[in-house]
């Protein structure tokens, strides 16, 4: 896992967190694997929210892929 890529991923997540916190949720980076997939854990109210898939795909994954070209996709753990 490249430390520089992980730092850029964390920066994106830090920018997204305030919106998640406003709804009582959060996201944690678990891993950035060799294939380019970011493994995230949705926490708090986001963990069981039916809209968390949309938040993850349309919000978090889209922003990560736009900002960090090395990211191929996002996997929820």
| Predicted pLDDT at 72 | 95
| Predicted pLDDT at 40 | 92
Task: Return per-residue pLDDT of the chain as tens, 77 residues.
Answer: 589 999 999 999 999 999 889 888 889 999 999 999 999 998 887 667 677 676 776 788 999 999 999 999 999 88
User: How far is residue 71's CA from residue 62's CA, in Å, rounded to a whole number?
Assistant: 10
State whether residue 66 is helix, strand or coil: helix
Write down the residue that tokens 């854990």 correspond to. 41
Q: Determine the length of the chain.
A: 77
> How do the domains of the chain map onto residue ranges?
3-76
Choose the CATH number for 3-76 among 3.30.300.130, 3.40.50.300, 2.40.340.10, 1.10.150.120. 3.30.300.130
Residue 53: which region, alpha, beta or left (left: phi > 0; alpha: psi -120 to 50)? Answer: alpha
| Predicted pLDDT at 1 | 54
């Amino acid at each position: 896992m490249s430390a520089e890529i992980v730092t850029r991923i964390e920066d994106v997540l830090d920018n997204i967190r305030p919106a998640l916190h406003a709804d009582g949720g959060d996201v944690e980076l678990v891993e950035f694997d060799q294939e380019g997939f970011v493994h995230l854990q949705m926490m708090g109210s986001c963990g069981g929210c039916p809209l968390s898939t949309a938040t993850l795909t349309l919000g978090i994954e889209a922003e990560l892929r736009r900002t960090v070209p090395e990211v191929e996709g996002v996997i929820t753990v």
